[in-house]
Structure 1
Amino acid sequence: MTTATKPLSALLQRTTVTDHEEVLQACNASLRVSRNDLETQYIKFLALLKLDRYDDALRVLEESGDRLKERAGVERAYALYRIGELEKAKDAARGIMDGRGARHVEAQASYRSEDFTNAAVLYKELARSQAAAEGEESDLRINSGATDAQLEWTRQGDLVSKKKPGREDLEAFETAYNAACGSIAKGELGQGEMLLKRAKDLCNALDEFTDKEKAAELLPISVQQLYVFSKLGKTKEAERLASEISLQEIPDVSTRQIAQNNKLAATPRTSNPYLSHRLFHSTETLPKTDNLFKLQAERMQQNGLALDLLVSKSNGVIKATNNLLSHSLPTTSSHVNNISVINAAAHAQSQLAKLGLKQIQPLLEKRPKDIGLTMTIIQLYVLTNNHGSAVTVLESLMKRLSESGTPADQDVVFAPGLVALQVSLYTQQARRSQIKTVLAKAASYWRHRSKPPTSLLRASGLSLLNSSDPEHQAIARDIFDTLHTQDSASKFATAGRVAAHALTSPEKVAADADMLTPVPRLIAGIDVAALEEAGIPSLPSATTTTRKRALDEKPKPAKKRVRNSKLPKDHDPSKTPDPERWLPLRDRSTYRPKGRKGRQKAAEKTQGGVSNEKTAEGKTTGTDGVIKAPEKGGGQGKGKRKKGKK
């Protein structure tokens, strides 16, 4: 064994660090002599890792036995991570109790497997301890920023401790890019656009990067910037940027797919949908090591179905979406509900208003707990200004879910989005008591949960605080107590707690009241005497205003739609039609008779002229006053036919 390793050690002393192929050849030659040499096997394994031959490296470990696996535990976990075996990589890294390298591999595998909570915890632990390698602190900041952005995208923003980017995030283009992604995920598109521009400027200013390396780093930033421009409605900027992005220069297949999707979304709506459909489906299959995240894959699936609708593949869309909806209802998943909306659009042939309602209402009998379908029907009723039917449909859904004994159905009933929709529809009808009842039930349901929705509790507490019902006031006190316990620094929770207990137990909130801004400071600069002299106008309620308006306004006759077949050929819609068009020609004000007799008759009808009138004897007077005798022939006109012989 000693003689076999001497040539290898001498060779390694003469080779460079990057000459991994030559090291591999030397290891193979040495292993032909001594197959069980653990040191040589380990060096061969590392050489294969350096050459990115991860499958071959893992094969060496499997053939070498458990001793080499124990020695190369971190490297084995890393190799599993690089071939896409994420769960095995996490298990292998967890088995190594000590070592920063194992924690890094576990965090990376957790990030790629979308276990962002575990990844965030690991990066925080690594950041708290002292960095072991040069540049590790910078890598930790970059990876932590990416994890925080993913938590925001997956609606777990409450786990993110850093809500605003700091100065250190604006010093490198990677951290600025991650901060931009976090802002975009929170809906702060303006700040995201600014941070993306900052990331581009920082990347272009790097001296250690070649132009080719800069272009490779700028491409993902441009793809994200294209998404922001499209969301902000900046169509010209989006079209210009889309024309500058070259898909062939993007090495990652997943990034290339997203870039193709964003370019198609930025194209004008007048473009050919069949061409867009072909380009969307022309990208290659994603490898196992470069899959899209779940949120990205869901958006791509929805966009693909929308393009199928544009090219009239409604039957295919119905079949594909039915398979997804068959075992996932009811749910608050935005993806499933969006798929339900696409399914309804396919059944309605993308028609709106009454025509669309007629096609999709029968589906509600088959899927009575379908949230997406119900929301579509409600939206169509709102578009036709039929809020009463919209409320009826929503209340029917809530009744069906409330009567169900499944706990998941109860979570759907009191989902913040559905509660907000109920409040919005009741507000349209000025049904204030129903609003307070809905908010009280939702708050009572959520405030005993481990992670209640804070926004719902805040809205419920504020509404119930103004209620005259003692039960509602008690719920408001409990809500603000809960909010104050969760965040004692929140001025909203403190002020609400003081207001809720002010009448019943003011001594309980005396300390909290002292922490609020004093009233004299709030009203400084306000002339109270002038306000009292001016008086306080009282606004009528929405119900009174609606009734008064209905009494005062006269009903407008409905406009009749004239068919095109009934209109004349020379009809010009821009010109006002003649109001006398329904009168006979001779009765119109613009009528001018032709010929001598016609003008004579018109003169006789002129006001002040002498008309042809019959005398008492049956004779006619002309315009000159002379009585004219009747014509000869016994009154028989020239044109009359003579009687035949009897």
Structure 2
Amino acid sequence: MVAQSLSSLLERATIEDHEEVLKSCNEALKKSKNDQTAQHIKAIALLKLDRFDDALRVFEGAGDALKTTASVEYAYTLYKCGKLEKALDIVTSSGAGRGAQHLEAQVSYRAEKFQRAADLYEQLYQDQASYHEANDLGINSWATDAQLQWKGEPEYVRHERPSREDLESFETAYNAACLSIAKGEFAQGEVLLKRAKNICETSEELSPEDRAAELLPIAVQYLYVLLRLGKTEQAEALLEEISVEDIPELSTKKIARNNIVLARQTNVNPYILYKALHEIPESINNDRLFDFQSNILVGNSHATDLLVQKFDGIIRSTNKALSKSPCPSTAANVNLLSVYNAAAQAEGQTGYKALRKILPLLERRPKDLGLLLTVVQLYVSEGNTTSAITTMERSLQALEESVSEADHEARFNPGLLSALVSLYQLEGRKLQIRTALAQAAKYWRNKSNTPASLLRAAATSLLHSDDKADLTTAGELFKGLYQQDPHDRLAIAGYIASHATLNYSQVESQLEQLPEVNELIADVDVSALESAGIMPSASAAAAAAAAFAGARKRTAADKESRSRAKRVRKSRLPKDYDPEKKADPERWLPLRDRSSYRPKGKKNKQRASDRTQGGPVSEKTEEATANVAQKASGGGSSNAKKNKKKGKR
């Protein structure tokens, strides 16, 4: 009875001190260990106190009843403890309304499922009128778009440029700067970071402690931008404002340490650099680096390992990690490990010396894409594009012959295919480019996650074919792209171009969807182009070069007249030179090979008669010929030893 009244009191309590709430819950649980209300309030109090591991133990000890009743709180606890997949499963099945949507978006963001997070934030923004969440949702949606850009999915980014309202909050300005940085627009990122810094410094809503905490990540990001822009003096001045020890998040602290070390020590002892980059411990649970950040820092770490010649250590650690990863893999972190594994195997050597050590590895691991691209890069750096193509084709053929669907998906991966096409372009293999793109398009056409850029490239390549089957395939690809995006003018133009020669009446009605030529060239200043000069195309330049070479080319008659006109200095002429006398045409032959040669002496006459074809053959000649034949076949060695005279010993 006392326990029930205490639980009822806790339900109506408005205690703001979470430690006091925790004490009251513990008192109630001493009276009734299975009091679900007390367990629920205790878990919430622990979450308020950031004691997430303790809150998780309360949920696990309470059983399934509390997990079902407080599903959102349980999912949030799992999220803060880094158990993201389990948290997503619970929050998506809870059906708890708007709060569950917010949590699902947050967990999806942390789990790097940014497309799902962006969709959720858009849904929440459309229904936020009565909740006054526009500012928070704007901040989170900008952050999600920045992550989509960094992950290499720019087609899902919803924001372009920040509005005036976006620039009134330092959080939104900071996230907009991150999006510009992800796009490679560092100058724009610098402007937005300055804006965010100024707003944060002048904000009256923040306490001095909160202001300092908010300025630290802005300064760390600003330092990165200054380094990328080459503004070393400003970067060195900014270093004085960054105190790494004051950064609470381990992930931000690790990034700050990395950038500060690289900013201050350019020509540093590699052992000092190695120690500086390994001072910060690894972040855990929910304070982890995102994949694109982790890949960079792992690369820096292995690079310093190579500088201090820890080759065996790199080989062991990367082999252990690679053994736990699927092969083939298109993940950046897995292929990065393969690259550093190959670098450690080469022991600092490059070119063909490195290839001699790495090629045996590729024979044992032909499906290792990171290792394959490393070998290809080494061949290309040595100017041996043909061997690079041969090596890549051999590995791709092994993937294509496999029965595994994962191998086939890796075989036609857009990134891997673009590398192969680039190699073909270096050697002008247009037919192979068309064939490779057509094969990839055939594979991806019926897939749910079809890469539109690959289909667009394949369809455009097939337009240059004279084969009607290729033109038909191009038309089908462009039609599919148009169905996905009716506003895609490239798809419309490609579809019309592919059917114009096959069935013009089928596409005649769609010509109106294309812009007119006058509209396309309306902003082109022809006079300015003519005055500035227009660079000719490659074909025109080649034709001009051929015409110029033809104009300079001399005919045979020109060469003969030029040789007749050429004067020879007297110092090069023989003493008895007579210009009226015709030179002997056999003067370049050896003396014994000339027709005028007559041997002198008995021996020379005998040799000349022996060389004459059809002449009489003497016994001496036959005997000499037999001796030569015997020596050539290896015989006669015993007689030579027997008749050899002994010399002095």
Shorter-chain TM-score: which interval?
0.7 to 0.9
Aligned pair partner of 1:369 in 360, 367, 370: 367
Partner of 1:351: 349
Of 149, 168, 173, which aligns to 1:171?
A: 168
Equivalent in 285, 288, 292 of residue 291 of structure 1: 288
Measure the CA separation in 1 of the matches of 2:75 and 2:158. Answer: 29
Partner in structure 2 of residue 393 of structure 1: 391
The equivalent of 2:143 in structure 1 is 146
Structure 2 matches for 1:317-336, cutoff 5 A? 317-326=314-323, 328-336=326-334
1:583-622 to 2 correspondence within 5 Å? none
The one-letter code matched in structure 1 to 2:49 is L
Letter of the structure 2 residue corresponding to residue 264 of structure 1:
V
Provide Cα deviations, 1:357-383, integer angstroms capped at 9, x if missing partner. Answer: 233233222222332223222222222
Summarize the Cα distance change of 1:514–1:282 in structure 2 as closer, same or farther, 3 Å threshold: same
Q: Decide which moves more: 284-293 or 171-180.
A: 284-293
CA separation of 1:346 and 1:10: change in aligned 2, threshold 3 A? closer
Counterpart position of 1:560? none
> Are residues 41 and 446 of structure 1, via their aligned partners in 2, closer, same or farther at CA, if it must alter by over 3 Å?
closer
1:467 aligns with 2:465: yes
2:477 pairs with 1:482: no
User: TM-score, normalization: structure 1?
Assistant: 0.73
Superposed CA deviations along residues 109-133 of structure 1, whole A, max 9, x for unmatched, are 3332334344333333322324564
Deviations along 1:222-268, whole A, 9 cap, x unmatched? Answer: 22233334444444444443454211110111211121122233344
Change (3 A) 1:78 1:222: same
CA-to-partner distance for each residue in 1:333-388, whole Å, 9 max, x for gaps? 22222222212211222222232223323322222233222322222222222223
Return the letter of the residue paired with 1:372: G
Structure 1 residue runs of 5 or longer lacking an equivalent are 553-646
Pair 1:306-2:264 in alignment: no
Match of 2:500 among 499, 502, 505: 502
> Amino acid of the residue matched to residue 424 of structure 2?
Y
Query: How big is the shift at 1:156?
Result: 3.8
Q: Do the aligned residues in 1 keep the contact of 2:362 with 2:372 (CA within 8 Å)?
A: yes
Distance in 1 separating the partners of 2:370 and 2:135: 44
1:247 matched to 2:224? The reply is: no
CA contact (8 A) 2:193 2:218 kept: yes
Deviations 1:277-315 (A, max 9, x none): 112222134342422234433333222111100111111
Following the alignment from structure 2 to structure 1, what is the Cα–Cα distance between the partners of residues 440 and 10?
A: 75
Where does the alignment leave 5 or more consecutive residues of structure 2 unmatched? 554-649
When the two chains are superposed, the root-mean-square deviation of aligned CA atoms in Å is 3.8
Cα drift, residue 173 of structure 1: 1.6
Residue pair 2:322, 2:334 contacting (<8 A) in 1 also: yes
CA separation of 1:442 and 1:84: change in aligned 2, threshold 3 A: closer
**What are the within-5 Å matches in structure 2 for residues 183-202 of structure 1?**
183-202=180-199
| Cα distance in 2 for residues equivalent to 1:404 and 1:45 | 52
The percentage of counterpart residues that share the same residue type is: 47
In structure 2, how many angstroms separate the alpha carbons of the residues matched to 1:37 and 1:431? 75
Residue in structure 2 matched with residue 379 of structure 1 by the alignment: 377
**Who is 1:109 aligned against?**
107
Is it true that 1:412 corresponds to 2:410 in the alignment? Answer: yes
Whole-angstrom CA distance in 2 between matches of 1:351 and 1:476: 46
The 3 A distance-change label for structure 1 pair 433 and 114 is: closer
Q: State the SS of the aligned residue for 2:540.
A: coil
Contact 1:8 1:26 in 2 (8 A): no
Question: How many correspondences in the alignment?
Answer: 543
- Cα distance change on mapping 1:5 and 1:363 into 2, 3 Å: closer
Superimposed CA distance per residue, residues 506-526 of structure 1 (whole angstroms, 9 cap, x where no aligned partner): 333334321222224446676
Aligned to 1:434: 432
The 3 A distance-change label for structure 1 pair 449 and 8 is closer
2:571 maps to: none
Given candidates 211, 214, 220, the residue that maps to 2:211 is 214
**2:99 counterpart letter in structure 1:** G
Contact 1:461–1:479 (CA under 8 A) maintained in structure 2: yes
Q: Secondary structure at the match of 2:327?
A: coil
Distance 1:70 1:379 in 2: 55
Q: Matched residues in 2 for 1:492 and 1:25: separation? A: 67
Give the counterpart of 2:123 among 125, 131, 135.
Answer: 125
Aligned position for 1:257: 254
- AA in 1 matched with 2:278: H
For the Cα contact (< 8 Å) 2:80–2:285, is it kept in 1? Answer: no
- d(CA) in 1 for partners of 2:362, 2:486: 46
Task: Give a deviation string over 1:436-469, Cα, whole Å, max 9, x none.
Answer: 2222222333233222222222222223222223
Contact 1:227–1:262 under 8 Å retained in 2: yes
The residue that corresponds to 1:603 in the other structure is: none
Separation in 1, partners of 2:235, 2:458: 41
Deviates more, 1:70-79 or 1:26-35: 26-35
